[in-house]
Amino acid sequence: MVHPWAWWCWAIGTGLAVSGTTNPLLLLLIALAVIIVVVVRRTDAPWARSMRAYLLLSLFVIGMRVLFQILIGAGIGETVLFSLPEIPLPDWMAGIRLGGDVTAEGLMYTIYDALRLAVMLLCIGAANALANPRQALRSVPAALYEASVAVVIALSVAPQLIESAQRVRKARRLRGDRTQGLQALGTLVMPVLADAIDRSMALAAGMESRGFARTSGLPVAGTLPVMLCSVMAALLGAFLLLSTSFAEAALVILGLGIAGTTWGLRRAGSRLKVTHYRPHPWTWRATGVAVSGLLVAAVVFALGWFEATYDSVHPSTDPLVWPELTAPMLLAVAFCLAPLPLTIQPKFRATASVRTDTRVRAVRSGVSA
């Protein structure tokens, strides 16, 4: 088992890399690599089956984008593939075109762009399939504990809302209810929300009676104001650093803010005596998986940074050129596949027993054969 955050790091890195390119060949190869890693390394837990849904969503995204490009896309380029009858629109809708010529350039541009979004979705799907978000949230620092619990509750309420909406709709049809549209939504919302609140209350009661948020000792006076001031200082520092030229002052304010926030979080967290059952150890394999994701991003961004290689990650669509695949790109794909060898189970090395009694037993039970 690799630490869940390692998988998230790998997926986020890959997603970042994807955001930095529109080369369809590279995008397809990365998508393929991500899918291969998921298929080989996922477990049989329920959340591991989510990849299919993300794959369908990605295809849907591409389909929608292409459809809209064909219907209302602006005609860039000259290579007309086919023409749709153009529907004249009133003057005040100038700039919008319905139907008309569909060009290869416009279509390819859309496909490249949609592909980028689709592969990013796949990366999120991969992280979900390989590491349950709840598992990942288990290993956050104690001070962020309550925030992570809120996320956990939200995560469990969302699917329950869908489930109870379906149940109520099904039941409503038994009543011969024929209200449609907004009115039907109105009658649906109340029982579903009431149900969601009931569930959340039951969950909260369960957590409360099992000792959630047990604290020891009194809160340290002044923690809250210090936290507030430090967070504000950190924000101000970041703002000054990014948008003005007072770099030194900004760095000092930012540093003070971060230090204050860290102190406050540690202070607040120390009152909680929460321990973790079977915590996931962070191994060198986890480091490897996490770094491989970051390396994918690094390679792709480096390619985009240098002028000589910029065109290879952003192939031109007007004029239309055949995208090329270069050696550094293959390196990025290789990094994306790196978790596969990194997460191979270590070999089991057994020392053969030479004692006669065990050998006799083994022979008797037919194991040695």
Partner 1 sequence: MIEFEDVTLSYPRAGRPTLRGVSLQLPEGDLCLVIGGTGTGKSTLLGAVNGLVPHFTGGELSGRVTVAGRDTAHHQPRDLADVVGYVGQDPLRGFVTDTVEDEIAYGMEQLGIVPVAMRKRVEETLDLMGIAELRNRPLVELSGGQQQRVAIAAVLAAQPRVLVLDEPTSALDPTAAQDVLSAITTLVHEVGLTVVLAEHRLERVMHAADSMIWLPGDGTARHGAPAVLLGEATVTPPLAALARTLGWSTVPLSVRQARRRVEVETVVIEPPPAPDIDEGAVALSARHVEVRFGPITAVRDVSLDLRRGMVTAILGRNGAGKSSLLWALQGALSSAGEIDVDGRDPRRAPASEARRLVTLVPQTAADLLYLSSVAAECAQADAESHAEPGTTAVLLARLGVDLPGDRDPRDLSEGQRLALVLAIQLAAGAPVLLLDEPTRGLDYASKGQLHEILDGLAADGTAVVLSTHDVEFAALASRRLLLMADGEVIADGTTRDLLASSPAYAPQMAKVFAPLPVLTPLDVQRGLR
- Using CB under 8 A, list all residues that contact partner 1: 45-47, 132, 134, 152, 167-168, 170-178, 187-188, 190-191, 194, 198-199, 202-214, 273-279
Shortest Å, Cβ 45 to partner 1 = 7
The Cα–Cα gap between 96 and 86 comes to: 11
Q: Which of 338, 243, 319, 322 is nearest to 17 (CA)?
A: 338
Shortest Å, Cβ 70 to partner 1 = 35
Phi, psi for 49 (deg, rounded to 5): -90, 5
Q: What's the length of the chain?
A: 369
Q: Which is nearer to partner 1, 175 or 355 (CB)?
A: 175
Which amino acid does the sequence have at 272? L
Give residues with Cβ within 8 angstroms of 141, minimum separation 6.
265, 269
Q: Which is nearer to partner 1, 162 or 247 (CB)?
A: 162
Q: What is the SS3 assignment for 243?
A: helix
Q: Which is nearer to partner 1, 89 or 213 (CB)?
A: 213
Q: Which of 200, 185, 188 is nearest to 164 (CA)?
A: 188
Q: Which is nearer to partner 1, 273 or 361 (CB)?
A: 273
The Cα–Cα gap between 258 and 166 comes to: 46
Shortest Å, Cβ 336 to partner 1 = 28
Q: Which is nearer to partner 1, 194 or 228 (CB)?
A: 194
Shortest Å, Cβ 63 to partner 1 = 25
Shortest Å, Cβ 148 to partner 1 = 12
Shortest Å, Cβ 41 to partner 1 = 17
Q: Which is nearer to partner 1, 8 or 109 (CB)?
A: 8
Q: What is the SS3 assignment for 62?
A: helix
> Checking phi first, is residue 339 left (phi over 0); if not, alpha (psi -120 to 50) or beta?
alpha
The Cα–Cα gap between 111 and 232 comes to: 42
